[in-house]
Homo-oligomer: A and B are copies of this chain.
């Protein structure tokens, strides 16, 4: 039950991380140089460097070389957080062998939360993106991976239509992390056209700012997706 003391580099990373999280170090502020930090913490420069690499991996700091270089508190941007969130979510799903139904339920529940906002606020740009993806999805030559990627892009446009970046960020994990699971479903021509049709109806409803129609169609899409997943897994068991 005893937790051994973590490595020095981990301790130092924690110490600096705390300073950043509760605001004692502010964005773009420069940390002391590696030499100064090693004196301050009374460790070697290598140990300090390992601590800084840890923080860099979490996008908490960035480093610049040269005379005026050093480690700076990083301004965490949506894109960085977004990418990390997707990677982590994807691994979480695959490593914990989450059932397809569970992941799909979460994804569609969260997406449904965006629909009323998106119906109210979507711009022509969002609608154009959705239409473009729908068009791509109906191309016969499209690979399965391409279809799934386009599916993700369609749903991201739906989510972004809500005009709330916090919502978009949180949804990223749910929607994008599903892609590998979705890829496992080999879409038939028939199921593709069904999905394209549902996508079109969702886009139409959002175009008309009809939140309840969009919500109802999204529910249809959710059930259909879960059904497809069940069929696929049943076939995998029997085959």
Residue positions of A touching B, CB distance < 8 A: 9, 13, 20-21, 23, 27, 46, 49-51, 53-60, 75-78, 81, 84-85, 87-96, 98, 102-103, 105-106, 109-110, 112-114, 117, 162, 164-167, 169-171, 173-174
Contacts and interface: CB of A to CB of B under 8 A. Distances in A.
Contacts of A13: 57
A112 B110 contact: no
Contacts of A54: 53-54, 56-57
A166 B91 contact: no
A105 B162 CA distance: 10
Contacts of A102: 164-166
Number of copies: 2
Contact of A112 (B76, B96, B113): B113
A21 B91 contact: yes
7 contacts: A51-B53, A102-B164, A102-B165, A102-B166, A110-B110, A110-B113, A112-B113
Contacts of A88: 58-59, 76, 81, 84-85
Pick the 5 closest A-B CB pairs, nearest first.
Answer: A113-B113, A54-B57, A106-B166, A57-B57, A106-B167
Contact of A166 (B166, B167, B174): B174
A55 B91 CA distance: 13
Nearest to A55: B57
Given A92-B76, A95-B27, A170-B173, A106 B21 contact: no
A198 B218 CA distance: 30
Contacts of A85: 85, 88, 173
Contacts of A51: 53
B109 A117 contact: yes
Contact of A105 (B23, B105, B117): B117
A76 B95 contact: yes
A81 B92 contact: yes
B92 A169 contact: yes
A103 B164 CA distance: 8
Q: Most B CB atoms within 10 A — which of A20, A60, A94, A170?
A: A170
